Chain A
Amino acid sequence: MSQPQPIDVPETVEQVPEQGQKPQDVRGKSQGQLVRQRFFGNTGAVVSVVVLLFIVVLSVTSIGIGPIPGWWKWSPDATGTVMNSGRPTLSLLPPSLGEHPFGQDNLGRDLFAMCMQGTQYSLIVMIVVGLIAGIVGTVVGGLAGYFRGWTEAVLMRLTDVIIIIPLVILAALLGRLAISWVRSHGLPTFATVLALGVLIGLASWPPLARLVRGEFLTLREREFVDAARLAGASSGRIIFKHILPNTVGVITVNITLLMSSAILLETSLSYLGLGIQAPDWSLGRLINENQTAFATRPWLFWWPGVFIVAIALSINFIGDGLRDAFDPRQRKFNPKRAREAGSGTDTLRTPLADAAQPGAAGQATR
C-alpha cells in the first residue's frame, strides 16, 4: 500500500549509488520519483513496455487509424492472387519483409494487414475497458467507502449482484446486445468495437470497486484525514487531495491486470462470434476463421495468437512491475545491489537494514 511513509530504511540504503557521497547528502525523493525509479529498475517491466509500445506503434502506423492512411501497401480486406500458396515471406536472414510477411489466406488477403487491424481493434477495446471500468470502479468503491451508510449499502449490493454473474456469461450477453444494437441502428460496424469496449467495461468494474472501497475504508480512519477534516476541508477536498492519491497504486495495478483480462475476453468473444463482426477483424475472429486451415496454412493460426499472447504477457509484466514499484513491502530484494550499497554505507546501518542483508536472513525479502 502506498501511504505517506516514514523513511523506509532499506530504501535509503538503495539511494546511495555513488561512492564517496556522504549518506547525509541523500535528498528526499517524492513518491512519484520513487515509484518511477523502482519501476524502471525492473528489467521485465521495461522490456514489456518496449514490446507493448512497439506493437501499438506498428498496428497504428502500418494500416493507419480511421481516415489516416498507413504505410503498409495492402488493406485488410483487399483480396489478391495467392502467391506461393500464401506462405509467409518474412525472413530474418537477410532481414526482409517481402510481399506478404505473415502470409496470405485462401482469398489472397494479406495476413499482416488483417493482424494489424485485429491488434488495433483489440487494443482499442482494451483501453476503453480500462477507462470505463477504472472510472466506474473507482467512483463506486470510493463513494461507498467514504460515505458509508446507505450509499455503501446500495452500491455494494449492486456490486454483489453483478459480481455473482460470471464475467464470461455477462460479457457474452453484452456482446450479443452490442451486435444487435449496432445492426438495428444501421451504424458502421466499427461502432461494435467501441460498444463492446464500453459494455465489457461496464461488466468488469465490480472487483475494482470492492478493492477501492476497502482502501477508502482504512484510509478514512487515518489521522491525516481526521486532521484535514478538523482543518475544515470539504469531503471533495479530502477525497481528491488526501485519500485518492494514496490509492493510486492499487487502482493502477488493478486496471492494468483488468486490461490484460479484457483483451483475452474480447478475443474469446470474437472467437465465439459474439464480439467483433465481419468485415472488421479481431485477433480472435482471425483464429476462428482460420482454425480449420491449421493443417495446410498454420501461419494463419500462429500469428494472431502470438500477438494476443505478446500483448497480454507484456501487460501482465507491466502490472507486476507496477505492483512492485508501488508496494515497497513486496519489493524485489536485489542481493547484488544491496552488497554494493552496503559497502559504502556502514554508518547508515541500523538493525533493520541489517535484517535486509543476505547474510542476516536469506528470507527477509518481503
Chain B
Amino acid sequence: MTSYILRRLITAVLILLGASFIVYLMTAASGDPLWDLYGNPNAQQLIPARVEALNLDTPPVLRYFTWLGGAAGCLVPFADTCSLGVSRDGQQVTELLGFAMTQTIMLVTVGTILAIVVGITLGIVSALRQYSGLDYGITFFTFLCFSLPSFWLAVLLKEVVAIQFNDFLQKPVLSMATIVVMSLVAGVIWFLVSFGQMKTRLLMGALGFVVTFGIIYFVLATDWLNHPFLGIPLIALTGILVAVIATILMAGLRNRRALYAALGTVVVGLAVYFLVQDMLSNGGFLTILVFTVVMTAAGAAIGYLAGGYDRGQGARVAGVTGFFVALLIILDRFMQSWPEYVNSSHIHGRPIATANSGTPGFTGDFWATGLDRFTHLLLPTICLTLLALASYSRYSRASMLEIMGQDYVRTARAKGLSERTVVMRHAFRNALIPLATLVAYDIGGLIGGAIITESVFAFTGMGQLFVQAVRNVDPNPVMGVFLVTGIVAMVFNLIADLVYSVLDPRVRVKA
C-alpha cells in the first residue's frame, strides 16, 4: 500500500510538472503582455518598467524555470522561501492566492456538499420509482441542469431571483388570488410526482395545496421574511418531523424505542433552548461546533440508554436527531440577528447580494457577519449546486437501478426483510461505492467550473483572479490558480482510488 501511494505521488508530481510547463508556455504565448500600454502617454517609462518587473526579456522557457525555482521554495517547510512570482501590478501571487483560494474553496465545498446530498437523494428516489411521473420529472430536470449554461443561470438568478426578491421584501404582500394560484400549482406538482392509486395521488395533491397555502399564509401574516423566527413551537414541529423521518429511514417506525429516544432528544433540545441563548450570543464558531457535538452526543446517549433490541440503531437515530435539533437552534439564533442585519446602514433592506463575497465596510458580531457571508454565498451556491447535482443524480440513479437488479437484493427480499432494510442496508450503501470515486474525480473540475460562476457574481475568488490574469496575459497568477486546482484534483484522484479499494474489497491496489 505504502509503495503504491509513493509511486502514485511521484507520478503525480511528474504530471503536474509537465502540465504546469504547458500552462506557462500557453499563457506566455497567448498574447502581448504590454498591450494595454501602447496608447499610454507614459509608455516610454512604463514599458521598460514592466519588462524589468516581469523579466520579459528572457524567453518563456527560461522564465518557467525561474518560476519553478520560486515554487520549489514552497516545499521547504517554515523556510519562508515560497514565491510564486508577482502579478502584473506587482502583487505577490501567494498573497493574492491566499485570499482567493479560501473564498473559492468555501464556495465549492458548500456547493458540492449540497449537490451530493440533493443529487443522490433525487437519483435514488427516481430509481426506486422508475418510470413514474416523478422519475420522468426528475430526469427532465437533471437534463435541463446539464444543459444550462452557467453564466446564463447566474445572470438569471442575479437579475430575477435576487432583485425581485429584494423588491418583494420591501412590501411583502400577495393578493389572495396569487396565493391560491401558487398553492394550486404546488398541489398539481404534488399530484404529478406522487405515485400509487389515483385516490392516494389526489389526496397528495390536496395535501400539497393545503400545506403550501398554509405556509405562504403563515409567512405573509407574520411578516416572517423580514422577521424570521423559529422559536419553541417551530423548533418543536420541525424537530418532531426530523425525528420521525430519521426513525423511518434508519430504524423503521416499528422500532418504538428508537422513535421515543429521538422524540426525547427533541424535548431535551427544547429544554436547553433558553439556557444556551446567552452562551450562543457571546460565542463564535467554536461555541457552535461544541454545541452541535454535545447535542449529537446527548442524542446518541439517550438512544443508547433507551435500549430496545438494537441499541446501536436507537443511538444513531437519536444522534442524528440531536444534530439536526442543534442546527435548528443555531439557525434560530441567526434569524434573531436578521432584522438588525437587514436594516443596518450597509444593507438598506436589500439583503440578497448579487456581487462580491462580502459587503464592503460591513462590521458586526459573529452572527451578523455570518449572515453577510450567507447572503453573498447564497446565489453562487445555488448556481453551482444546480449545475453539479445533475451528474450525481444521473449516476446514482443508474447505479441504484443496477444494484436493485442484483441477486443479493432478491435474496434479501426472499429472506423476508422489510423493504426499508433492503433499500437502505443492501442497496443504498452499495450504490454509493461508484459515486465515491465519481465525487472525488469531480472536485478538480468543479473548482475549475466555478471560475465562470464566480466571475458573473464578481465573487472575489480564484475565478476572478484567473479571468483577469488571462485577459492581461499575466502568467504568474494563472500558474497559481492552476497549481491549486491541479494539486486538489491530483490529491482527490488518489483519494478516490484508495477509497475505492477500501469500500470494495474486490478491488486491490497493485502494491
Contact = CB atoms under 8 A, between A and B. Distances in A.
Interface stretch (A50-58, A247-255, A301-309): A301-309
A274 interface: yes
A290 to B, nearest CB: 10
A168 B402 CA distance: 33
A11 interface: no
Contact of A166 (B155, B455, B467, B489): B489
Interface in A345-366: 361, 363-366
Interface stretch (B140-148, B256-264, B296-304): B140-148
Given A264-B149, A291-B159, A317-B143, A173 B30 contact: yes
A268 B454 CA distance: 12
B424 to A, nearest CB: 16
Interface stretch (A101-109, A156-164, A227-235, A236-244): A156-164
Q: Which of A170, A264, A365 has the most CB of B within 10 A?
A: A264
Nearest to B451: A168
Interface stretch (B21-29, B52-60, B237-245, B281-289): B21-29
B179 interface: no
Contact of B151 (A161, A173, A271): A271
A363 B130 contact: yes
Interface in B436-450: 444-445, 447-449
Interface in A301-359: 301, 305, 308-309, 312-313, 316-317, 320, 330, 333, 335
A164 B19 CA distance: 7
A295 B22 CA distance: 43
Contact of B405 (A165, A179, A272, A363): A363
B31 A176 contact: yes
A273 interface: yes
Q: Which of B146, B159, B473 has the most CB of A within 10 A?
A: B146
A272 B405 CA distance: 46
A157 B416 CA distance: 51
Q: Which of A161, A167, A317 has the most CB of B within 10 A?
A: A161
A13 interface: no
A81 interface: no
Interface in A43-66: none
Contact of A305 (B144, B149, B444, B473): B149
Contacts, number: 147
Interface string A213-238: 00000000000000000000000000
Contacts of B455: 272
A211 interface: no
Contact of B149 (A157, A168, A169, A309): A309
A157 B402 contact: no
Nearest to A329: B402
B146 A316 contact: yes
B489 A164 contact: yes
Nearest to B448: A166
A316 B147 CA distance: 7
Interface stretch (B78-86, B340-348, B478-486, B501-509): B478-486
Contacts of B150: 264, 268
Given A313-B147, A366-B402, A305 B30 contact: no
B410 A361 contact: yes
A138 interface: no
B18 interface: yes
B31 to A, nearest CB: 4
Nearest to B482: A169
A176 B30 contact: yes
A201 interface: no
A113 interface: no
Contacts of A260: 146-147
B16 interface: yes
A274 B444 CA distance: 22
B452 interface: yes
B183 to A, nearest CB: 27
B458 interface: no
A313 B482 contact: no
Contacts of A180: 30-32
Contacts of B155: 287, 291, 294, 301
Given A167-B445, A313-B147, A317-B143, A308 B152 contact: yes
A176 B410 contact: no
A164 B22 CA distance: 11
A174 B26 contact: yes
Contacts of B15: 157, 160-161, 164
Interface string B467-497: 1001101000010011001100110000000
Q: Which of A162, A271, A320 has the most CB of B within 10 A?
A: A271
Contacts of B27: 173
Interface string A261-297: 0001001100111100000000010011001001100
Contacts of B163: 295
Nearest to A304: B152
Given A161-B22, A284-B149, A169 B451 contact: yes
Contact of A169 (B147, B405, B471, B481): B481
Nearest to A168: B448
Contacts of A295: 159, 163
A366 B485 contact: no
B401 interface: yes
Given A165-B23, A177-B29, A294-B159, 10 more contacts: A161-B18, A173-B478, A176-B31, A176-B473, A177-B30, A260-B146, A272-B455, A287-B151, A313-B146, A364-B405
Interface of A: 157, 160-162, 164-170, 172-174, 176-177, 179-180, 260, 264, 267-268, 271-274, 284, 287-288, 291, 294-295, 301, 305, 308-309, 312-313, 316-317, 320, 330, 333, 335, 361, 363-366
6 contacts: A161-B19, A176-B30, A177-B29, A260-B146, A271-B452, A317-B143
Which 6 residue pairs across A and B have the least CB separation, nearest first?
A166-B448, A312-B147, A180-B31, A176-B30, A313-B147, A161-B18
